Structure formats: structure tokens, C-alpha cells
């Protein structure tokens, strides 16, 4: 339950962007390995960009240590069980973070948010296809033809970040498509997120009839 809550901390920020419409912004990837974050400094992030920590080796966390007033904090594991974490900044300023178990070894990093950026959407960037959308009681999810990607994990939430469906990590790593049954849902919008085997995350807004 605690780990699910930590995952949703990053997911909720993503929902803020997606809930106003389909969107795409810059993703800044930070590799987590060998008691270091790489890169450990990112100086030119825009509001609406995604900071993504990606596990390479070891057992670590990304934990906010100082941040601009009004910004959301975060504390998330980065490990083989939890191979990525996303954070979308909404406040201008410098954010500092550490790996809690290894902070004394100098495992820390920072990123600086400069300004807001106009966000556009390119449907082809999403990489996944869902049908039907709007849906009734089930929805099929697959990667676009020729993408070569395979589904590793699939999560569906409401617009407040509550998990509606979450597959077990690693159980879908050989699948290019899957069908999810979603019975008893209220009419409205939901967010579908898919992680592939390289830990890239794709997202789409879906609509229940």
C-alpha cells in the first residue's frame, strides 16, 4: 500500500497535465545506478515537463530534500520492483533530491524549473492504441504496428489518481497487446498508462460511456 501511494505521487502530477486534454512535453530521464544519478543536474526544465528516474541497478530512492514553496514533495523507491518514477513540476525554482539510503555517500541531484512551456500533442508519440474508446465494460490495449514494444505493466486511474486497475509488474513483459475488463465504472474520463520493457511510459485518456 505504501509503495502504491508513492507511485501515485508522481502519477497525480501527470494527471494534472492530462486531465485538461491530450498533451505531450519533454521527458528528462535520470538513470539511477552505482550510487549516482545521471545526469545529476538538469538546469533548464519547463513547467509541464516530466522528470523521470529510471532504475539501472541497486536499491535506491528519489526523495525531495529542498524545493520551491508550494511545490509537491516526493519519496519513491527506485528498484527492480519499482523501475521508474515520474514527477511533473508545477512551480518555478530549484528542486534538490537525494537517495535516502545513500545520501551520506553523495548520491544527490537537482533540477531547475525556469518557466511554463506551451504543450502540444502528437498522437503518434503516444505509441499505444486502445479500442473501443469510449468503452463500455472492456478495453483492448496494444502498441502501434511496427513499434516493437511489449507491455510490461498497465495501470488505469481516475482523474484524482485512484487506481482502478493495475497489472502485476513483470507479468506482461512478453505481451504486445492485452484486454482489460472494467465493469461497474461510472461514466467519465480515466487515464491509462503503459510501461514497456525499456521502462518508457505511455499514457492516454480513455472515456467510459
- Structural domains for the chain: 2-116 (2.60.40.420), 123-208 (2.60.40.1930)
| Res. 11: pLDDT tops 50 | no
Say yes or no to pLDDT of 155 above 60.
yes
Q: What is the tens place of the pLDDT at every residue in 101-122?
A: 999 999 999 998 876 443 333 3
Q: What is the mean pLDDT of residues 30-45?
A: 91
pLDDT at 107: 96
Least confident range of 49-53, 70-74, 102-106, 153-157: 153-157
Closest by CA to 35, choosing from 87, 85, 86, 108, is 108
Residues 58-87 have a mean pLDDT of 93
pLDDT band of 4, cuts 50, 70, 90: very low
Give the mean pLDDT of 146-171: 69
**Taking residues 133-144, what's their average pLDDT?**
86
Residue ranges with strand state E in 34-126: 36-38, 41-47, 50-55, 60-66, 75-78, 84-87, 93-98, 108-116
Three cell numbers written together for 15: 494527471
Contacts 24+ apart (CB under 8 A), 160-164: 160/12, 160/15, 161/8, 161/11, 161/12, 161/15, 163/4, 163/8, 164/190
Confidence class for position 149, pLDDT limits 50, 70, 90: low
Element of type H or E holding 33? strand 27-33
Amino acid at each position: 500500500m505504501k509503495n502504491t501511494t508513492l507511485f501515485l505521487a508522481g502519477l497525480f502530477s501527470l494527471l494534472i497535465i492530462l486531465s485538461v486534454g491530450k498533451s505531450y512535453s519533454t521527458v528528462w530521464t535520470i538513470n539511477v545506478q552505482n550510487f549516482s544519478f545521471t545526469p545529476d543536474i538538469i538546469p533548464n526544465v519547463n513547467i509541464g515537463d516530466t522528470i523521470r528516474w529510471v532504475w539501472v541497478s541497486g536499491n535506491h530512492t528519489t526523495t525531495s530534500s529542498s524545493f520551491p514553496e508550494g511545490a509537491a514533495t516526493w519519496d519513491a523507491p527506485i528498484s527492480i520492483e519499482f523501475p521508474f518514477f515520474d514527477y511533473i513540476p508545477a512551480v518555478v525554482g530549484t528542486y534538490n533530491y537525494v537517495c535516502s539510503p545513500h545520501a551520506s555517500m553523495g548520491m544527490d541531484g537537482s533540477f531547475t524549473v525556469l518557466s511554463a512551456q506551451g504543450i502540444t500533442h502528437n498522437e503518434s508519440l503516444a505509441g499505444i492504441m486502445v479500442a473501443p474508446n469510449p468503452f463500455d465494460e472492456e478495453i483492448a490495449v496494444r502498441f502501434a504496428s511496427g513499434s516493437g514494444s511489449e507491455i510490461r505493466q498497465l495501470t488505469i486511474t481516475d482523474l484524482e489518481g485512484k487506481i482502478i486497475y493495475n497489472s502485476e509488474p513483470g507479468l506482461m513483459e512478453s505481451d504486445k497487446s492485452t484486454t482489460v475488463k472494467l465493469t461497474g465504472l461510472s461514466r467519465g474520463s480515466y487515464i491509462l498508462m503503459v510501461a514497456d520493457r525499456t521502462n518508457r511510459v505511455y499514457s492516454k485518456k480513455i472515456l467510459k460511456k
